[in-house]
Amino acid sequence: MTNVGIIGMGSYLPEKVMTNHDFEKILDTSDEWITEMTGIKERRFAEDNIDTSDMAVIAAKRAMENSGVTKDDIDMIIVATSTPDHHFPTVANIVQSKLELNHVPSFDQAAACTGFIYGLATAYNYIKAGTYKKVLVIGADKLSKKIDFDDQSTAILFGDGASAAIVGEVSEGYGIKSFELGSNGDGGKWLYDDKDTKYIKMNGREVFKFAVRIMGELSVSVTEKADMTSEDIDMLIPHQANIRIMESARKRMNLPREKMSETIQLYGNTSAASIPISIEHEVKHNKIKDGDNIVLVGFGGGLTWGAVCMTWGK
């Protein structure tokens, strides 16, 4: 039986830091209010000459280097993004070209902040079926180009970044144990990309109610589907959207706070890049080790949601 998991990762975060104090200069807000309501202290904004594909390429190169995988090994590219450089060619097409990845199939996965989990599940199924062996899955978003800086409710939330994972066969006992995906188009009106202004629009109250419910339910469900309990989980990695939403999932799982990844204070909401950035952050800080059971859980515009339970290691 083929076991499928993540065999290497790499991330890219822009150098420019936008702090809450910077927002105090342009909005009627405060560092204390933003921190209390969201958990965010700062976020990264890419320069004007850096687009989503540029960040994705750097993250992909780092993932390949960290995993020891060469361009000849990769046979599919999936890029999860809501902020492509163009409608077409896709970000995945641009990544394929810049990395010279042997004309492999490549496509963008549009599931908003849940995109990386959708991409991970898609790669898992292709590999389990024996169609492909190593899939490059990237979460990348440049949300700063979608921010309305006159909208206090959304402007403070988002940041830019990219993170890539090489997904392939792993040793027995490791890899993805279960996943769940879902969507409800009726809720799309609560979080969307406005076709006229091109800015992100959100009904914060409705999104919050939905996210608090779905994040907790999903975390428990995907754990049970993997024949595990909360006591078996070593790290919960929620989409870094809002600390209060994240806390609701942690409490539903009955996990201590040290078992939940928190990168939101550093990077804000980086959409499809949020979960993989957090995974690599925890691995680098030795908070995720081989043999650890982790739960990834997220939600996004669409509305979409998804979760993965996996045992870390290759």
- Residue from 3, 20, 93, 113 carrying the catalytic annotation: 113
Count CB-CB contacts under 10 A for residue 299.
Answer: 31
Q: Is 127 exposed, middle or buried (0-12, 13-18, 19+ CB in 10 A)?
A: buried
For residue 62 the two structure tokens come to 């780092």
- Residue from 3, 20, 93, 239 carrying the catalytic annotation: 239
For residue 28 the two structure tokens come to 């009627």
Output DSSP code: residue 269: B
Which residues, 6+ apart, have CB-to-CB distance to 176 below 8 Å?
A: 4, 5, 120, 124, 308, 309, 310
* Contact predicate 64/8, CB 8 Å: yes
Is 309 an active-site residue?
no
Is 184 an active-site residue?
no
Is 21 an active-site residue?
no
Count CB-CB contacts under 10 A for residue 222.
Answer: 22
- Residue from 3, 20, 93, 269 carrying the catalytic annotation: 269
Cα Rg of the chain, angstroms: 18
* DSSP string of 112-133, one letter each residue: GGGHHHHHHHHHHHHHHTTS-S
Catalytic residues: 113, 239, 269
